C-alpha cells in the first residue's frame, strides 16, 4: 500500500474532466485500494523480474537499473489514474459509470435490461475484502458494466439494489433470502476433471513403455514430452477444479445464484426470465457414473464465445452432477414447463445422412418449450423456451433432399444457441416451421402481456421494448 503511494508522488491530483460542482451529487469512487489490486499481479511479476535481473540471475549485469522499475511505476500510475477518473452512481433505474482520462467514457446501464449480475473476487481482492461487480446487458462487451473494486458489503448492497430495481421493487429492498438447491462435492468435481484423461494417460504411458522397452536410449526422448503433457494436463485440471470448487446453486426471488471458486470466488446471479436456453451434456466417459453437465445461455455480447470464466455467455448451472440433480435444476431454470415435451426420433432413413449421431437424434416440442437431442459421442440435449425464439429456420442440404429430410433450427439469442430438429421428414419439417413460428408468437405474446412467475420484469415490457428494436437504422 505504501509502495504505490511512494511511487506516485509526482502524480498531480487530477479531477475527473467534465465533473464540475454538479458532479458531487451521488457520484461515488471505487475503493482506494483498487489500483493496488488491479495492478497487483502485473507489478508483482515486474518486481520479480527486476529482482532476478538485479541479483544477476537473469539479464546482462548485476545492479539496479532505473528502467527495471519504470514499467512497474507506469503500471501503478496508470491504475491510479484510472481510479481517479472513474466514478459511478445509481441514478433511479440506471447505473452510470464514467471513466477514461483522455477519452471520456460515460456508460448508462438501465437496470431493467440486466441479464446477469456477477460478483467477482480475485484472490488478491479477496484478501483485502474487496469485490468486483459485473453487470451484463445484452449486446454489451466484457468490460462494459464493471466496477472494480468495492468493499464486499458495498458490492453486495449494490447487487441487491440493482436486482431489486430490476424486478421493479423499491431499490432499498434488502437482498431476499436464498435457498441452496444443490452443491457439487469436491471429489466428484476432481473425478470428473480427471476421468477424461485416464484413457489418454494409459495410452501414453503404454506407448512410452513400449518405446522405452524397444530402445532403452529413447527413454529420455519419450519422458520429456510425457512430463510436459502431464504438466499441461495438470494445469487444465487445476483450472477446472479451482474455478468450479465449492460450486453451489441457490435460488432466490432475484434469480439463480451460482457460487464457485477456490482462490478467487465468483457469485453469479441470473434472473430466471433471462435464461435463453438450457443445455445438458452427457460426455461418453462420464456415462458409467450417469453424470452430466448443465449449462444455461444468457444473452450477452456476440463475438465472445469463451467457455469458462465470468465473461462467458454460457454459464454452467451444474458442472457435474447426477441426472436427478440436473432434472431438478432444469425445472427451476425453466419454470414455465410443467410436463416435458415428448421426444420423437427422426425416420430410419436418417441413418444414411447421420450414421454417427442417429442413435441420439430426437426432438419434440409443446406449447412453451422445444427440446432437441444431438451429438455423436456425447449426448447434448437443448431446451429452448418458445417465448425466447428469435427465428425459425429450415435448412435442407442436397443429400437431405435426396432422402426427403430437412433440419429445423429454433434460434435463441446468442451465437450458437439453438435447438436443432435434425433430419426430420421433409413434410414434417415444413409443417414444423409454421407451427413453431405460430407457437413462439403466442408464447411471446403471453410472456409480454402477462409477466410470468414471481420476478415480474417491471419496466420490462415498456423499457425492454423500446430498447429492443432500434428502428430505422438503415443507412
Partner 1 sequence: MPGMPEDGVMCPSPRLWRMRCAEVMAAATVLAVAAGAAAGLTLGAGAAVIAVAVVTAGALAALWFVRNRFRSWMYQERDEDLIVGRGVLIHRLSVVPYGRMQFVDVSAGPIDRVFRLATVKLHTAAAASDARIPGLEREEAARLRDRLAALGEAKAAGL
Binding site for partner 1 (CB under 8 A): 113, 115, 138-139, 274, 276, 299, 302, 388-398, 401, 406, 409, 411-418, 427, 430-431, 433-434, 437, 440-441, 444, 447-448, 457, 460-461, 463-475
Min dist CB 474 to partner 1, Å, is 4
- CA atoms 185, 186, 188, 192: torsion sign: positive
Min dist CB 386 to partner 1, Å, is 11
> What distance in Å separates the CA atoms of residue 419 and residue 285, rounded to the nearest whole number?
24
Min dist CB 137 to partner 1, Å, is 9
Closer residue to partner 1, CB minimum distance, 103 or 475: 475
> What distance in Å separates the CA atoms of residue 260 and residue 225, rounded to the nearest whole number?
33
* Burial 426-443, CB ≥16 within 10 A → b, else e: bebbeebbeebeebbeeb
Grid coordinates representing 101 are 482520462
Min dist CB 218 to partner 1, Å, is 49
Min dist CB 415 to partner 1, Å, is 5
Min dist CB 395 to partner 1, Å, is 5
Closer residue to partner 1, CB minimum distance, 13 or 474: 474
Closer residue to partner 1, CB minimum distance, 248 or 396: 396
HEC sequence for 452-472 = CCCCCCCCHHHHHHHHHCCCC
Of 326, 328, 271, nearest to 298 (Cα)?
A: 271
> What distance in Å separates the CA atoms of residue 106 and residue 146, rounded to the nearest whole number?
12
Of 17, 30, 140, nearest to 79 (Cα)?
A: 30
Q: Is 317 in contact with 333 (CB distance < 8 Å)?
A: yes
Residue 150, judged by CB atoms within 10 A of its CB (0-12, 13-18, 19+), counts as: buried
Closer residue to partner 1, CB minimum distance, 357 or 440: 440
Q: Is 97 in contact with 256 (CB distance < 8 Å)?
A: no
Closer residue to partner 1, CB minimum distance, 65 or 401: 401
Closer residue to partner 1, CB minimum distance, 296 or 417: 417
Min dist CB 298 to partner 1, Å, is 10
Min dist CB 389 to partner 1, Å, is 8
Closer residue to partner 1, CB minimum distance, 80 or 419: 419
Closer residue to partner 1, CB minimum distance, 278 or 299: 299
Min dist CB 438 to partner 1, Å, is 8
Closer residue to partner 1, CB minimum distance, 118 or 325: 118
Q: How far is CA 400 from the centre of its chain?
A: 35
Q: DSSP for 208-251?
A: HHHHHHH-GGGHHHHHHHHHHHHHHHHHHHHHHHHHHTT-EEEE
Grid coordinates representing 325 are 440433480
CA distance to 219, 220, 349, per residue, from 216 (Å): 6, 9, 54
Min dist CB 158 to partner 1, Å, is 23
CA distance to 19, 63, 331, 334, per residue, from 58 (Å): 47, 11, 58, 57
Closer residue to partner 1, CB minimum distance, 16 or 346: 346
Amino acid at each position: 500500500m505504501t509502495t504505490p503511494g511512494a511511487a506516485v508522488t509526482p502524480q498531480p491530483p487530477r479531477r475527473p474532466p467534465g465533473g464540475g460542482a454538479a458532479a458531487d451529487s451521488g457520484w461515488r469512487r471505487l475503493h482506494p485500494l483498487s489500483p493496488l489490486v488491479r495492478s497487483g499481479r502485473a507489478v508483482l511479476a515486474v518486481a520479480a523480474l527486476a529482482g532476478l535481473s538485479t541479483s544477476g540471475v537473469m539479464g546482462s549485469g548485476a545492479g539496479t537499473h532505473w528502467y527495471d522499475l519504470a514499467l512497474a511505476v507506469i503500471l501503478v500510475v496508470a491504475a491510479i489514474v484510472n481510479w481517479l477518473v472513474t466514478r459511478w452512481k445509481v441514478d433511479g433505474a440506471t447505473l452510470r459509470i464514467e471513466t477514461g482520462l483522455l477519452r471520456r467514457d460515460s456508460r448508462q446501464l438501465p437496470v431493467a435490461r440486466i441479464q446477469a449480475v456477477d460478483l467477482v473476487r480475485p484472490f488478491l481482492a479477496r484478501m483485502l475484502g474487496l469485490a468486483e461487480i459485473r453487470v451484463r446487458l445484452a449486446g454489451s462487451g466484457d468490460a462494459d458494466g464493471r466496477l472494480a473494486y468495492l468493499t464486499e458489503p458495498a458490492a453486495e448492497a449494490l447487487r441487491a439494489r440493482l436486482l431489486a430495481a430490476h424486478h421493479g421493487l423499491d431499490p432499498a429492498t434488502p437482498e431476499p433470502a436464498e435457498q441452496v438447491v444443490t452443491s457439487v462435492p469436491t471429489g466428484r468435481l476432481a473425478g470428473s476433471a480427471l476421468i477424461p484423461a485416464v484413457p489418454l494417460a494409459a495410452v501414453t504411458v503404454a506407448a512410452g513403455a513400449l518405446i522405452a522397452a524397444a530402445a532403452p536410449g529413447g527413454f529420455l526422448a519419450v519422458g520429456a514430452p510425457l512430463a510436459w503433457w502431464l504438466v499441461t494436463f495438470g494445469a487444465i485440471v487445476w483450472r477446472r477444479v479451482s474455478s468450479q470448487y465449492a460450486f453451489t446453486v441457490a435460488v432466490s426471488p432475484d434469480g439463480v445464484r451460482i457460487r464457485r471458486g477456490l482462490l478467487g470466488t465468483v457469485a453469479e446471479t441470473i434472473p430466471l426470465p433471462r435464461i435463453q436456453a438450457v443445455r445438458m451434456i452427457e460426455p461418453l466417459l462420464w456415462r458409467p457414473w450417469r453424470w452430466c453437465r448443465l449449462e444455461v445461455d444468457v444473452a450477452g455480447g456476440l463475438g465472445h464465445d469463451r467457455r469458462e470464466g465470468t465473461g462467458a455467455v454460457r454459464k454452467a448451472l451444474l458442472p457435474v452432477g447426477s441426472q436427478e440433480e440436473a432434472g431438478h435444476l432444469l425445472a427451476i431454470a425453466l419454470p414455465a414447463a410443467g410436463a416435458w415435451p415428448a421426444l420423437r426420433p427422426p425416420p430410419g432413413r436418417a441413418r444414411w445422412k447421420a450414421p454417427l449421431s442417429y442413435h441420439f437424434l430426437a426432438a419434440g416440442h409443446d406449447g412453451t418449450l422445444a427440446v432437441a437431442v444431438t451429438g455423436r459421442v456425447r449426448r447434448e440435449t437443448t431446451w429452448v423456451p418458445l417465448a425466447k425464439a428469435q427465428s425459425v429456420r429450415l435448412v435442407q442440404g442436397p443429400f437431405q433432399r435426396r432422402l426427403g429430410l430437412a433440419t429445423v433450427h429454433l434460434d435463441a439469442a446468442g451465437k450458437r444457441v439453438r435447438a436443432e430438429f435434425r433430419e426430420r421428414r421433409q413434410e414434417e419439417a415444413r409443417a414444423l416451421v409454421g407451427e413453431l413460428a405460430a407457437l413462439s408468437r403466442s408464447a411471446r405474446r403471453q410472456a409480454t402481456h402477462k409477466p410470468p412467475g414471481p420476478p415480474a420484469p417491471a419496466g420490462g415490457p415498456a423499457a425492454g421494448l423500446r430498447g429492443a428494436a432500434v428502428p430505422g437504422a438503415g443507412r
